[in-house]
Amino acid sequence: MPEMNHRGYRLHVEGAPGAQAAVRLEGRLALEDLKALMADLQAVPVKMKPREIAVDVAGVEYLDSAGAMALIEMENLSRSLGIPFELLGVSEKDHGLLCLIDREALQRPPLRPESERPAIVVRLGEVARRQYRDVLEIMTFVGELVAALAYCLVHPRSIRWEEVKFYMKRAGADGLPIVALISLLLGLIMAFMSSLQLKQFGANLYVANLVTIAMVRELGPIMTAILVAGRSGSAFAAEIGTMVVNDEVNALVTMGFDPIRFLAVPKVLAAMVVVPILTVYADFFAILGGLIVGITGLDLTAFTYIQQTKSSIRVFDFATSLVKAVVFAMLISGIGCQRGFQVRGGAEGVGMSTTSAVVSAIFLIIVADSAFAIMLHYVRH
């Protein structure tokens, strides 16, 4: 084999296949050249298949643990092929480094090869098992939360009303600007886009009906719930998760407090109060956005638009919208608290629980809204 020169080392091999191979190494045997060094050293016993191998490292100027491991790997490979191996010219310092390498550990196979992946049936089973365990944990938490709410209903003085007010402000009053802005823009967009089609039939007046029915029946509750899930549901999960990580929840249990009654109930009650109120504001600002488009772009008067809005909506639609908002609030606050209590580990666990709380809340909101849509369709008819 010819002499091989790399950035840090030089390797020269003398001998013919089937005879003795003399390998001379010079320069630096270090981590930065490990891949090339391993390939060059292992090529000697594999390609030449010599009778015996002698490696001279007297010219090596620097040897680190990666270089020592490459030499030991070459020795193990040679001995596994039945080729005698000898290391020459080893200094006292390099000998000490070579002795630090666990030769037996290098010969053990990995617990699982990196390229090995479990079969798809195994992976599907793992996913199903995780989902089953997750559903059990959610159902257990729901039972504990219902029991805590029932206890608080019988003993209202046990509720931390100051905390309820605090979360009402944080989830409701602090969230009003973003809910109002998005609802206003949504009303503007819906009115403008629908007017482009209704103009062709001279039905500009029905823009008010479209915006009002769409917002009050469907978009108002679901858009408000998604915004609250992103703002407050994630905050609930992060707050409780941080307390779990810091062992504050265990401290509450030690002091005789029920963590669900102490931490989750105020959040759930606050969400059940403020989400319907935010939904009403969302409907109002969306109708206001449609009114702006109707006055400025459709030649409608404010009186005409408001009258058409009033005639298109019924008390039943408004009531069912509020019922949806209450259910969505329970889902958002409940799943946020449950994911918080589920946290294990450190900051990474808190981040994962926060993400899971938002994603799970949005999924449950959409599922619940679909159920409401089917149920209310038959109730109305």
User: Does residue 102 register a pLDDT over 90?
Assistant: no
In this predicted structure, what is the pLDDT of residue 68? 82
User: Does residue 267 register a pLDDT over 90?
Assistant: yes
**187 — pLDDT class (breaks 50, 70, 90):** very high
C-alpha–C-alpha distance, residues 179 and 184, integer Å: 8
Mean pLDDT value across residues 288-310: 87
In this predicted structure, what is the pLDDT of residue 159? 87
Is 51 strand, coil or helix? coil
In this predicted structure, what is the pLDDT of residue 350? 87
Q: Which amino acid is at 40?
A: D
Which has more confidence, 121 or 112?
121
In this predicted structure, what is the pLDDT of residue 111? 52
Percent of all residues in the chain with a pLDDT value above 90, rounded to a whole number: 26
Average pLDDT, the chain: 85
Which pLDDT tens digit goes with each residue over 346-367? 788 888 889 989 999 999 999 9
In this predicted structure, what is the pLDDT of residue 197? 84
Lowest-pLDDT range of 110-114, 277-281, 313-317: 110-114
Say if residues 187 and 287 touch (Cβ distance below 8 Å).
yes
In this predicted structure, what is the pLDDT of residue 3? 54
The neighbour count for residue 118, using CB atoms within 10 Å, is: 11
Q: Which amino acid is at 380?
A: R
In this predicted structure, what is the pLDDT of residue 179? 92
**Of 31-35, 77-81, 146-150, highest mean pLDDT:** 146-150
Percent of all residues in the chain with a pLDDT value above 70, rounded to a whole number: 93
Is 212 strand, coil or helix? helix
Say if residues 370 and 253 touch (Cβ distance below 8 Å).
no
Residues 6+ apart with CB under 8 A from 342: 137, 241, 353
β-strand partners of 54:
22, 86
Residue that the structure tokens 């003085």 belong to: 157
β-strand partners of 22:
14, 54
Side by side, which strands form the sheet with 85-88?
A: 4-5, 9-14, 20-29, 52-63, 85-88
Full-prediction pTM beyond 0.75?
no
- What ranges do the domains of the chain cover? 4-107, 158-380
* Structure-block tokens of residue 170: 């944080």
**381 — pLDDT class (breaks 50, 70, 90):** low
In this predicted structure, what is the pLDDT of residue 116? 60
User: Does residue 114 register a pLDDT over 60?
Assistant: no
Is 139 strand, coil or helix? helix
Say if residues 74 and 98 touch (Cβ distance below 8 Å).
no
- Closest Cα to residue 67, out of 38, 96, 100, 40? 38
Strand locations in the chain (E) = 4-5, 9-14, 20-29, 52-63, 85-88
End-to-end Cα distance, the chain: 89
Residues 6+ apart with CB under 8 A from 301: 295
In this predicted structure, what is the pLDDT of residue 6? 58
In this predicted structure, what is the pLDDT of residue 109? 60
In this predicted structure, what is the pLDDT of residue 200? 79
Superfamily of domain 4-107: STAS domain (3.30.750.24)
Which pLDDT tens digit goes with each residue over 214-240? 999 889 999 999 999 998 989 999 999
207-233: string of b/e by CB count within 10 Å (b at 16+)? bbbbbbbbbbbebbbbbbbbbbbbbbb
User: Does residue 42 register a pLDDT over 60?
Assistant: yes
Say if residues 291 and 172 touch (Cβ distance below 8 Å).
no
Mean pLDDT value across residues 165-185: 91
Residues 6+ apart with CB under 8 A from 160: 262, 265, 266
In this predicted structure, what is the pLDDT of residue 283? 92
Mean pLDDT value across residues 2-22: 72
* Structure-block tokens of residue 183: 């609802």
